[in-house]
Amino acid sequence: MKRYGSIIKVVPEKLEEYKQLHAAAWPAVLEQIRLSNIRNYSIFYKDGMLFSYFEYIGIHYEKDMAAMAADPVTQEWWKVCIPCQMPVETRKEGEWWASMEEVFYTN
């Protein structure tokens, strides 16, 4: 299992919409997340930033993420969520949510 953390800004006037979308997340999207070997997925908010955390339990991360990106329902979900988000300037090329470095963990 590998832990992933990432950040993105939220469009201030879209925060409540974003919260409402995730309060009623589409079941097919949640199923695709599960099929892509993601567990314990959470999104937190603070001061205009969204923080995402999840655990990946698979063995082919790129393949699982490509399968999620190819899923038509997930693509529709992203179409409604992406207008609520603004990438951080320091993200790597090709990233939407900026990856974070894990600096501490205890179990």
pLDDT band at 9 (very low <50, low <70, confident <90, very high): very high
Distance CA 99, CA 94 (A): 11
Annotated domain spans of the chain: 2-99
SS3 of residue 79 by DSSP: helix
* CATH superfamily name and code, 2-99: Dimeric alpha+beta barrel. (3.30.70.1090)
Closest CA to 21 of 70, 65, 83: 83
The confidence band for 22, taking pLDDT boundaries of 50, 70 and 90, is very high
pLDDT of amino acid 40: 98
Question: Which residue is listed with tokens 């205009």?
Answer: 48
- Contact call for residues 75 and 25 (beta carbons, < 8 A): no
Q: What is the pLDDT of residue 47?
A: 97
Q: What are phi and psi of 102, to 5 degrees?
A: -80, 125
Write down the pTM of the prediction.
0.91
Rounded CA separation 29/82 (Å): 15
More confident residue, 39 or 107: 39
Query: What CA–CA distance (Å, rounded) separates 2 from 59?
Result: 10
At residue 56, the pLDDT reads 98
Tens-place pLDDT, residues 35-86: 999 999 999 999 999 999 999 999 999 999 999 999 999 999 999 999 999 9
